[in-house]
């Protein structure tokens, strides 16, 4: 399965002593969200001719957070949306698998991933996905407030909860802004 979250979950469950079935089911559930991305991407990847089965299967394999984020940046059905989806999906597929191979072969040589700054890769990737969506000052302010909430809650909440709290702040604020503008 080509999704980082699923791979990390599988390794995390197995590393914590969980069983193979629990690890695989966890990875599959996390990967299932990509089917929702696929549904939302359909209008963006539309082509003048009916796509072949092979094309659909290939696009399904490339449907990940990053390729979705890049495609929806452009108008539905546009050439740019299809290009962004394919270029991002293919680049990440190739580089992710090369990185996984390097990690599998050389992980023992690295005592602590933080020495290379690898612990910053996921937050940096998230910011890169979010950045194109920040089109005006109110969205930038909302992102900064949400980030501040997450950072403030890190010392007092269990892992994962600060991010969920920040997401809740963003959703509530977006609803309030939308209600005010109507």
Whether 55 and 104 map to the same domain: the answer is yes
Give the pLDDT confidence score for residue 98 in this predicted structure.
92
Q: Name the packing angle between helices 79-106 and 53-62 (round to 10°).
A: 60
Same domain, residue pair 161 and 139: yes
Mean pLDDT of 36-53: 83
**Domain match, 34 and 111 both:** yes
Total domains in the fold of the chain: 2
Domain identity same for 130 and 149: no
- Helix crossing, 20-41 with 4-15: angle to 10°? 170
Residues 10 and 95 reside in one and the same domain:
yes
Residues 128 and 145 in one domain: no
**Domain range holding 79?**
4-134
Co-location of 117 and 99 in the same domain: yes
| Dihedral over Cα of 174, 181, 127, 26: its sign | positive
179 phi, psi to nearest 5 deg: -65, -40
For residues 123 and 146, state if they share a domain: no
Give the model's pLDDT for residue 92: 93
How confident is residue 80, by pLDDT bands cut at 50, 70 and 90? very high
pTM for the model: 0.65
84-121 pLDDT, tens digit each? 999 999 999 999 889 888 888 887 777 776 677 766 77
Pick the last residue of a domain from 134, 153, 174.
134
In this predicted structure, the answer to whether residue 154 has a pLDDT above a threshold of 80 is yes
Top-confidence range, 91-95, 130-134, 138-142: 91-95
- pLDDT, position 159: 73
53 pLDDT above the threshold of 90: no
**Average pLDDT in the chain:** 84
The predicted model gives 2-20 an average pLDDT of 84
């Amino acid at each position: 399965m080509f999704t980082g979250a699923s791979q990390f979950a599988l390794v995390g469950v197995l590393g914590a002593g969980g069983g193979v079935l629990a690890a695989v089911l966890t990875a599959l559930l996390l990967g299932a969200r990509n089917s929702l991305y696929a549904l939302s991407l359909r209008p963006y990847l539309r082509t003048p001719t009916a796509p072949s089965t092979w094309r659909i299967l290939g696009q399904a394999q490339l449907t990940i957070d990053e390729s979705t984020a890049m495609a929806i940046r452009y108008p539905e059905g546009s050439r740019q949306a299809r290009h962004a989806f394919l270029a991002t999906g293919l680049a990440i597929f190739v580089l992710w698998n090369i990185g996984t191979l390097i990690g599998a072969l050389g992980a023992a040589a690295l005592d602590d991933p933080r020495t290379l700054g690898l612990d910053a890769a996921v937050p940096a990737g998230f910011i890169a996905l979010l950045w194109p969506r920040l089109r005006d000052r109110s969205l930038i302010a909302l992102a900064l407030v949400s980030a501040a909430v997450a950072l403030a809650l890190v010392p007092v909440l269990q892992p994962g909860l600060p991010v969920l709290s920040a997401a809740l702040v963003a959703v509530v604020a977006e609803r309030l802004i939308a209600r005010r503008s109507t």
